Amino acid sequence: MKSKRYPLILCFLIPIIVTVGYFIFRHFAPFGNSSILTVDMGQQYIDFFAYYRDTLLHNPSGILYSFAKGLGGDMFGTWSYYLMSPVNLLILLFPISMLPSVLALMTILKYGLAGLSFGYFLQKKYQATDWPVIGFSASYALMGWMVANQLNMLWIDAVILLPIIFLGIDNILKHQSTKLYIISFTAMLIINYYMGWMVAIFVSAYMVTFGIARALPTSYSYGKIFYRWIKASLISGILSAWILIPTFFSLLTSKTNYSKNEFRVRFEYNPLDILGKFINGSFDFKQLPNGTANIFVASIIIILFAYYYLSPTIKGRLRIASFALTVFFVLSMCFQPLDLFWHGMQLPVWYPYRFSFIFSFWMILTAVEAFKDILTNGLHWKTFIGSTLIILIGMIYIGTKIKSFEYLKPENYVWGWIYLILSIGLIVFYGLYRKNILLSIAMAILMTGEMSLNFVNSLNNISYLNNSDYTKFASITRPLVDKIKQSDKGFYRTGETFSRTKNDALTAGFNGGSIFSSTLESATSNFFGNIGQPNGDAYVFYSNGTMFTDSLLSMKYWMNERPVTIRTSQKTMPQFLSTLTSKPDLSKYDLTSQTKLTNTYKNPYALPLGFVSPENSLKTTVVPNNPITYQNQLAQQLDPKIGDLFKSANYTNVSYHNIYPVLDLDNAVLRKKNMMEQSYVTIKVPIEKNTSYYMTMGPNISNTQLSVLVNGNSLVQFRPAKKTVVANIATGGTANDTINVKFYANANDVWLQDVKLYKVNDQKIANFAKDLKKSPYKIDRWCNHKFTGTVNVKAKQQALTTTIPYSKGWHVKVDNHSVTPKKWAKMFIYVPVSKGTHHVTFTYWPQGLGIGVTISLIGVCLIIGEYYYNKNKKVI
């Protein structure tokens, strides 16, 4: 028993030792002041994990829906993609202040579990208990894909489960029980459906190709085995239907709407360029957004992989089937139609070839088969020489192309040769002394050492955030939000003029207006673009709100960084408290509280979540291209007597410095006279008292091309967007004034795309808010997925109009009678209501969840029924 346990213990511990050693070296929390937070881990996932903790411990309704997701959105799809790993439960044991440290511990644990999983697979499939098992497991747990995607820890569970799923497949092929396959594959689909799809492709390809070719017991035809596999797969699908079906409907409103016609019959790069990724340390930051597949494994694996296809003692039909599957993998990593198929018919944004861990698994598995053949039949010297020559030719090719592999350092190429030569020598000795225990130990050490070096060399190319970048943000913003909640327990949204990430609301626990998520509803992104807010396929950012949108969207509170004038204070000021957006409009709001670093403002014009407005005008669906024109249109739909809120603003005294004059700034192209001199245009804008001023800027204007200064201060705005954005440039006080606006051309030709000025009087906004507050939706009780309250409708042909984002998951009852909610502004829910006082309930239930739960329950009942039927049948 002990002889079987120690390899598994080492399979688990060695990846952990390597990872912990490196984390200590890099001072990652909890071992120092740095952290593992980088790219999406620091800008997206950690906020989801904070939300995970708050939801399970304090607010379970957030599992279904959250108003911290943009203006509100389905969270079921978010949970199924980001948050279903059982390892995440560790988060519940620690305070939010330790979250970066906990994520590091979770990452370390997942490395160990990957090694344990593969070691268990080898032990069960090959009855292997000696030292090479440890080396193969280390090569799997520390493979190039794992290192490159360490930051995408939501995918790593697939690496842990894949060997168990494959062991289940092996059981089926041996006409043994299907239980292990059903349990492991069901777990995969539940934990991460995206990775589950990739694993399903691999399993299917294996069963069709390799499965048919392998030697099968004569008592079972392959047709029966294939049937048992199909049946087991369907059972897994049925058992996971409760999460897959609502996730499917969630995708219909999010990712699938962003899909473009990406199908192109072409090679994405020269297939031979894949060879560069077999060199130690073949990874850097540039490989994250664009690059070749990360498939690094130990040199011994590569040699044995080539040896397998030339060995005369391995059955020919098995080698042919294996080669066919290998060709399929290689083509998938460079031929776009196959790449698209693996990624669910949508090419990934960053992190290309996310399925390549399966190819590494396949290479290691094939190498194990070759190693087993050597142990059984001895080393075939001609085969070994042939496979070694193939590897050497590949290394020489890499050397001739090394300058084109930007990620490949010459010293790493040298290390590649060193480990290759050592591996060749070790296999030669294995051919001579197969049973030598020292060779087995050397093999484990050699593979572990090579994988460890790759781990270090690869991660040294990535920079990370400090631990305090997150912990300070949480320690500052969470108390601010808690203080607001203590004084105001109603429903409202909160904005911020600073930002750590677009997911700040998830960490700080407030209803916000921003989100960065792959499950973002496309309607939300489109609406943000229509009103002049930064937006993209996977994010929206409420950073450029006007007085009108603040009012409409219930932006009742604003958190603002306090101006810092003392230089010593600036040095210690957290980076996330630097200004994200210039918002002079805050001077119109009421200052409610202060800390040393922040101010909190209350917006007196913020509307409730629901209010009464004329029904007929809500049916308008035409969206103008100009965001200010659209905001005027929305205001008139809700309050027809209000007229135009925004009007064009004038400017005077245009002067040019090293710029050729233009007739009008709007859509003008600023051209420099002297390319080497500073160039700018200055205008004066008369500011009327009690009036706010805005400027629109087209999506093609970048900060690198154009800098805007207002009275000498930089106009700070988050601008990357699909459509024209709106910037708040000034607000009038109690007297008229004038501001100077300078447009600095930072390029030879700068297009002032959609640059226009607008103004809105405070009284107009006050009248608009007053009109719609006359008949509010008075909320009695609310949580993330349910609102109950009353509304008093004082006229006919009116509607209870809300800023709850429309979704088929929302169900509405008026006076306990179900009504069908409708959509206005292509975004929000409204409900036609008759004159009088009504009790209205809004309830969210993810679309497809009821069907999915029903299917899963039926599946469980059928499985239990079949079990007892077979049990009774045996008794009889």
Please report the pLDDT score of residue 3 as a whole number: 60
> Could you count the other beta carbons within 10 Å of the beta carbon of residue 388?
18
> Could you count the other beta carbons within 10 Å of the beta carbon of residue 773?
15
> Could you count the other beta carbons within 10 Å of the beta carbon of residue 414?
12
The DSSP symbol for 847 reads T
Nearest CA-CA partner of 788 in 618, 614, 612, 609: 609
Give Cα 843 to chain centroid, integer Å.
27
Host domain of residue 812: 774-845
CB distance 631 to 645 below 8 Å: yes
716 and 812, same domain (yes or no): no
Please report the pLDDT score of residue 434 as a whole number: 83
Q: What angle do CA 439, 442, 444 make, to 5 degrees?
A: 115
Give CA–CA dist 719/545, Å, rounded: 13
Token pair for 653: 């005294």
pTM: 0.95
144 and 186, same domain (yes or no): yes
CB distance 148 to 22 below 8 Å: no
Q: Is 147 a domain residue?
A: yes
Q: Is 709 a domain residue?
A: yes
480 and 439, same domain (yes or no): no
Domain-ending residue, one of 732, 767, 802: 767
- In tens, the pLDDT along 435-458 reads 789 999 999 999 999 999 999 999
Q: Is 592 a domain residue?
A: yes
Nearest CA-CA partner of 611 in 553, 556, 557, 525: 553
575 and 684, same domain (yes or no): no
Nearest CA-CA partner of 236 in 176, 284, 165, 306: 165
130 and 91, same domain (yes or no): yes
User: What residues contact 609, with CB distance under 8 A and at least 6 apart?
Assistant: 491, 492, 554, 777, 779, 787, 802, 803, 804
Q: Is 520 a domain residue?
A: yes
Cite the beta strand spans of 541-690 per DSSP E.
Answer: 555-561, 590-594, 598-602, 610-614, 646-648, 652-657, 669-671, 680-687
237 and 132, same domain (yes or no): yes
598 and 722, same domain (yes or no): no
Please report the pLDDT score of residue 564 as a whole number: 61
Give CA–CA dist 397/146, Å, rounded: 26
219 and 116, same domain (yes or no): yes
Please report the pLDDT score of residue 440 as a whole number: 94
451 and 474, same domain (yes or no): no
Cβ neighbourhood burial of 401 (10 Å; 0-12, 13-18, 19+): middle
Q: What angle do CA 749, 544, 59 make, to 5 degrees?
A: 140
Please report the pLDDT score of residue 569 as a whole number: 46
Give CA–CA dist 688/758, Å, rounded: 12
User: What residues contact 444, with CB distance under 8 A and at least 6 apart?
Assistant: 131, 132, 134, 135, 138
689 and 550, same domain (yes or no): no
Q: Is 116 a domain residue?
A: yes
CATH of the domain at 835: 2.60.40
Cβ neighbourhood burial of 820 (10 Å; 0-12, 13-18, 19+): exposed
How many domains, the chain?
4
> Could you count the other beta carbons within 10 Å of the beta carbon of residue 212?
13
Q: Is 623 a domain residue?
A: no
161 and 298, same domain (yes or no): yes
User: Which residues in the chain show pLDDT less than 70?
Assistant: 1-4, 214-220, 259-261, 564-573, 874-876
Give Cα 32 to chain centroid, integer Å.
26
763 and 780, same domain (yes or no): no
CATH of the domain at 753: 2.60.120
Q: Is 88 a domain residue?
A: yes
Q: Is 627 a domain residue?
A: no
